[in-house]
Protein backbone atom coordinates (compact mmCIF):
# COMPACT_ATOMS: atom_id res chain seq x y z
CA UNK A 1 0.00 0.00 0.00
CA UNK A 2 2.84 2.37 0.88
CA UNK A 3 4.55 1.78 -2.47
CA UNK A 4 1.32 2.42 -4.33
CA UNK A 5 0.89 5.75 -2.54
CA UNK A 6 4.48 6.70 -3.35
CA UNK A 7 3.87 5.99 -7.04
CA UNK A 8 0.66 8.02 -6.99
CA UNK A 9 2.52 10.93 -5.38
CA UNK A 10 5.20 10.74 -8.08
CA UNK A 11 2.52 10.69 -10.77
CA UNK A 12 0.82 13.75 -9.29
CA UNK A 13 4.12 15.65 -9.08
CA UNK A 14 4.83 14.89 -12.74
CA UNK A 15 1.30 15.98 -13.67
CA UNK A 16 1.74 19.29 -11.83
CA UNK A 17 5.13 19.88 -13.48
CA UNK A 18 3.54 19.30 -16.89
CA UNK A 19 0.78 21.79 -16.16
CA UNK A 20 3.34 24.41 -15.11
CA UNK A 21 5.37 23.80 -18.28
CA UNK A 22 2.23 24.04 -20.42
CA UNK A 23 1.27 27.35 -18.80
CA UNK A 24 4.77 28.72 -19.44
CA UNK A 25 4.57 27.62 -23.07
CA UNK A 26 1.15 29.25 -23.48
CA UNK A 27 2.43 32.50 -21.96
CA UNK A 28 5.37 32.52 -24.35
CA UNK A 29 3.06 31.79 -27.30
CA UNK A 30 0.75 34.64 -26.25
CA UNK A 31 3.69 37.06 -26.07
CA UNK A 32 4.89 35.97 -29.51
CA UNK A 33 1.39 36.34 -30.94
CA UNK A 34 1.14 39.88 -29.52
CA UNK A 35 4.54 40.69 -30.99
CA UNK A 36 3.41 39.24 -34.31
CA UNK A 37 0.33 41.48 -34.33
CA UNK A 38 2.53 44.50 -33.66
CA UNK A 39 4.82 43.55 -36.54
CA UNK A 40 1.84 42.99 -38.82
CA UNK A 41 0.51 46.46 -38.02
CA UNK A 42 3.92 48.01 -38.69
CA UNK A 43 4.26 46.17 -41.99
CA UNK A 44 0.75 47.21 -43.04
CA UNK A 45 1.60 50.81 -42.18
CA UNK A 46 4.78 50.65 -44.25
CA UNK A 47 2.96 48.99 -47.15
CA UNK A 48 0.40 51.80 -47.10
CA UNK A 49 3.25 54.26 -47.62
CA UNK A 50 2.97 55.77 -44.17
CA UNK A 51 5.74 56.19 -41.66
CA UNK A 52 5.80 56.49 -37.93
CA UNK A 53 8.29 57.60 -35.32
CA UNK A 54 9.19 53.96 -34.78
CA UNK A 55 9.94 53.38 -38.46
CA UNK A 56 11.76 56.69 -38.95
CA UNK A 57 14.32 55.93 -36.25
CA UNK A 58 14.78 52.28 -37.16
CA UNK A 59 18.41 51.58 -38.07
CA UNK A 60 17.80 48.10 -39.45
CA UNK A 61 17.08 47.71 -43.10
CA UNK A 62 13.64 46.58 -44.21
CA UNK A 63 15.11 43.31 -45.47
CA UNK A 64 16.51 42.50 -42.01
CA UNK A 65 13.15 43.35 -40.46
CA UNK A 66 11.28 41.09 -42.85
CA UNK A 67 13.70 38.19 -42.31
CA UNK A 68 13.44 38.55 -38.52
CA UNK A 69 9.66 38.78 -38.76
CA UNK A 70 9.42 35.63 -40.88
CA UNK A 71 11.63 33.76 -38.41
CA UNK A 72 9.42 34.80 -35.49
CA UNK A 73 6.32 33.93 -37.49
CA UNK A 74 7.60 30.41 -38.14
CA UNK A 75 8.46 30.03 -34.44
CA UNK A 76 4.88 30.96 -33.53
CA UNK A 77 3.53 28.46 -36.06
CA UNK A 78 5.74 25.72 -34.61
CA UNK A 79 4.57 26.52 -31.08
CA UNK A 80 0.95 26.46 -32.22
CA UNK A 81 1.37 23.12 -33.93
CA UNK A 82 2.90 21.54 -30.84
The predicted pLDDT at position 27 comes to 94
The predicted pLDDT at position 77 comes to 62
1 DSSP 8-state letter: -
pTM of the model: 0.51
Q: What angle do CA 61, 80, 66 make, to 5 degrees?
A: 10
Q: What angle do CA 51, 57, 50 make, to 5 degrees?
A: 5
The predicted pLDDT at position 79 comes to 60
**pLDDT, one tens digit for every residue, the chain (82 residues):** 878 888 898 999 999 999 999 999 999 999 999 988 888 887 777 777 666 666 555 655 666 677 677 777 776 665 666 5
Amino acid sequence: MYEWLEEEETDMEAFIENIIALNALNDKRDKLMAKRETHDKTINTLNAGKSSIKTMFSFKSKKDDIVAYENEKSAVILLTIN
